[in-house]
Structure 1
Amino acid sequence: MDVLYFAWVRERIGVPKERIETAPATVMDLVNTLRAREDRYEAAFSDLSALRVAVDQELSDFDASLTGAREVAFFPPMTGG
């Protein structure tokens, strides 16, 4: 599956997109897998309340299933103006 990072998440991790070959069951499982990789991932995912997630371009929760998912995106909350 493709994992996309936007805004400061991308800046902390250092890449805009990567392919994950594992098959995590939920978004939280994916986050935990990424956190275990390197300190830069741990820093990016240290405060989940400051992050939003979309699975296949639909806003989701961290307990959302990733069964059959092709894309997961992480981004900060949007603010209106």
Structure 2
Amino acid sequence: MFNHIRMVVLATNAVGSPDLFLTSVEATGTQYQHGCHYDMALLRARDEGYTPPMIAFDQYDAAARMLRRAAAFIEGDAAEV
């Protein structure tokens, strides 16, 4: 059985700027436990022209929670850090 996992890759785009690549992957429980979903997301980002440095995180990682807080902070909807 495959699980649908939302992923974000922080990477460098084609013009050399930091960017976020959003994707989703299908992974078995075993693949997820072994971290293969990160590799899948990184490969997709590379296929779309993104370059290292790159780091991937999924919807359950602490970085995903912080991304929501960062968006509120950037928009001015959250208290200063």
With the length of structure 1 as denominator, give the TM-score of the two structures: 0.33
Q: Who wins on radius of gyration, i.e. which is larger?
A: 2
Task: Between the two structures, name the one with larger relative contact order (CA 8 Å, sep ≥ 6).
Answer: 1
**Structure 1 or 2: larger strand share?**
2
**Structure 1 or 2: larger helix share?**
2
With the length of structure 2 as denominator, give the TM-score of the two structures: 0.33
